[in-house]
């Protein structure tokens, strides 16, 4: 009996010893907060007004930048605000999918588009702020990706306002140009932001959230829009494709510019 008890105590002691090693293992895996550098140690493209320290050094491994999610640096708040927002939106979208028939009801497609695009733009923004410090090229590339997400959300926001909240009188006035205009403006937003980042890297963009009421105005918008929900939703893919191609083109321009600088 004494032998059994001593063996169990021995196993318990070993388990406690393993638990004590966990913080040390985490400290070894995570980048140290002291690894950040000052503004003078990074290229001008990374420097922010009034922020003189907390920059992550360039040209580290991808693992370093992913693990910096759990460290203090100048982008930590930006990363977490977008990441938490994306997670909250995923949960809200899942709950919404339990109450709304996204598959069977065509009039839910604009609602589906704005929900997904909200998750996309928050996720892209979180990735941009988390990983942009790797190099000048990746700084521009990830923010171009961020602008794709913002433009996609911009179109979807315009779509849900038009689809669910518009009054019949206004619908008659703008039905011919509102959605094409929203597509064009979304692409111009992305293209303009990409070009501004290319020419003047310290510029940034912002987007505001919208609220919509899907249920109460259904008799109005279902009569106004008929079977156009699929077309409007497909245009979101067009916006996403055009913005992605624009971002890829501007990424290639940045790569060419950096290559010329090195030569």
Indicate the domain borders of the chain: 42-51+59-262
pLDDT in tens, 64-104: 999 999 999 999 999 999 999 999 999 998 998 888 888 88
Q: What is the pLDDT of residue 173?
A: 83
10 Å CB burial of residue 193 (0-12, 13-18, 19+) is buried
Nearest CA-CA partner of 44 in 34, 30, 32, 58 = 58
Query: What's the whole-model pTM score?
Result: 0.70
Q: At 260, is the pLDDT very low, low, confident or very high (cuts 50, 70, 90)?
A: confident
129 annotated as ligand-binding: yes
Instruction: Please say if the pLDDT value at position 213 is more than 50.
Output: no
Q: Which residue has the higher pLDDT, 35 or 83?
A: 83
Greater pLDDT, 132 or 213: 132
160-164 average pLDDT score: 84
Confidence of residue 218 (pLDDT cuts 50, 70, 90): low
Stretch 158-168: mean pLDDT: 83
């Amino acid at each position: 009996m004494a032998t059994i008890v001593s063996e169990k105590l021995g196993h318990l002691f070993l388990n406690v010893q393993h638990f004590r090693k966990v913080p040390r293992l985490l400290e070894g895996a995570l980048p140290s907060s002291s690894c950040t550098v000052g503004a003078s140690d990074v290229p001008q493209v990374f420097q922010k007004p009034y922020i003189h320290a907390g920059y992550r050094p360039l040209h580290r491994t991808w693992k370093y930048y992913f693990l910096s999610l759990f460290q203090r640096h100048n982008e930590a708040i930006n990363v977490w605000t977008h990441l938490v927002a994306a997670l909250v939106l995923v949960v809200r979208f899942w709950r919404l999918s339990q109450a709304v028939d996204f598959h069977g009801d065509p009039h839910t497609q604009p609602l589906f588009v704005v929900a997904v695009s909200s998750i996309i733009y928050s996720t892209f923004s979180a990735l941009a702020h988390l990983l942009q410090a790797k190099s000048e090229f990746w700084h521009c590339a990830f923010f171009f990706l961020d602008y794709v997400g913002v433009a996609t959300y911009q179109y979807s926001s315009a779509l849900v306002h038009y689809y669910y909240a518009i009054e019949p009188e206004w619908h008659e006035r703008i039905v011919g140009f509102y959605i094409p205009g929203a597509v064009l403006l979304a692409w111009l937003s992305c293209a303009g932001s990409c070009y501004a980042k290319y020419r003047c890297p310290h510029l940034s963009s912002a987007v505001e959230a919208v609220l919509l009421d899907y249920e109460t105005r259904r008799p109005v918008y279902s009569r106004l829009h008929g079977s156009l929900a699929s077309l409007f939703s497909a245009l979101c893919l067009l916006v996403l494709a055009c913005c992605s191609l624009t971002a890829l083109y501007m990424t290639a321009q940045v790569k060419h510019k950096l290559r010329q600088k090195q030569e």
